[in-house]
Amino acid sequence: MSARIATVSRDTNETQIKVSVNLDGEGRLSCQTGVPFLDHMLDQVARHGMIDLDINATGDLHIDDHHTVEDLGITLGQAFFKAIGDKRGIYRYGHAYVPLDEALSRVVIDFSGRPGLYMNVEFTRDTIGSLDTQLFWEFFQGFVNHARVTLHIDNIKGFNAHHQAETIFKAFGRALRMAVAEDPRMEGQMPSTKGSL
């Protein structure tokens, strides 16, 4: 496979975001979003996904975090869609269960070409730090719509909201790592009976 690297910029009246992604990276993150807990979660995705992420985001945080978090999901999804190419030779599907103390989450992803988010999470707090936990749905919705993936997220148990979120993002990273990996038995082949994804 050729290098699976992409850079995407999004510039609106609400946010200015630039994302670079290397799907075959070393798990490195360079990130400045102005939303500290989101930076912490993106570090989990990079590290556990073995994906290099370079993210710069400026948003209207004086209003709230909504536009920055949502638009970052959109831009990250666009970067993944661009980097993955035609999907020949990849595993396509990825899944992971990740525990953190009392919390346990499962994430399953399919690079299907069909956007769909199915998120079953009841956070035990409305905020983590200053971040509204409702915004995690907005982040993942933006990602799936623009990466064109099907994504199932289930927090199976947990009473600490930080742990709930961290298990979700770690599992997301691990599932991404599995799905985008090269399958030596599928080299040059499309992982679909339809012939395209």
User: Looking at residues 91-101, what average pLDDT do you find?
Assistant: 98
Contacts of 9 (CB under 8 A, 6+ apart): 16, 17, 18, 19, 75
pLDDT at 1 over 70: no
Span 14-39, pLDDT tens digits: 999 999 999 999 999 999 999 999 99
Span 43-83, pLDDT tens digits: 999 999 999 999 999 999 999 999 999 999 999 999 999 99
Please work out, in degrees rounded to the nearest 5, the angle formed at the alpha carbon of residue 118 by the alpha carbons of 117 and 124: 115
For the chain, the structural domain boundaries read 5-180
pLDDT for res 2? 77
Global confidence as pTM: 0.97
Q: Where residue 90 falls among pLDDT bands split at 50, 70, 90?
A: very high
pLDDT for res 74? 98
| Count of other CB atoms within 10 angstroms of residue 38 | 26
Please work out, in degrees rounded to the nearest 5, the angle formed at the alpha carbon of residue 75 by the alpha carbons of 71 and 77: 115
CA gap 104, 188 in Å, rounded: 36
Rounded to 5 degrees, φ, ψ at 117 are -115, 125
For residue 67, the 8-state DSSP code is H
Span 151-165, pLDDT tens digits: 999 999 999 999 999
**CATH label, 5-180, candidates 2.120.10.30, 3.30.950.10, 3.30.230.40, 3.40.50.2300:** 3.30.230.40
Q: Give me 132's structure tokens.
A: 């509204």
Question: Mean pLDDT of all residues in the chain?
Answer: 97
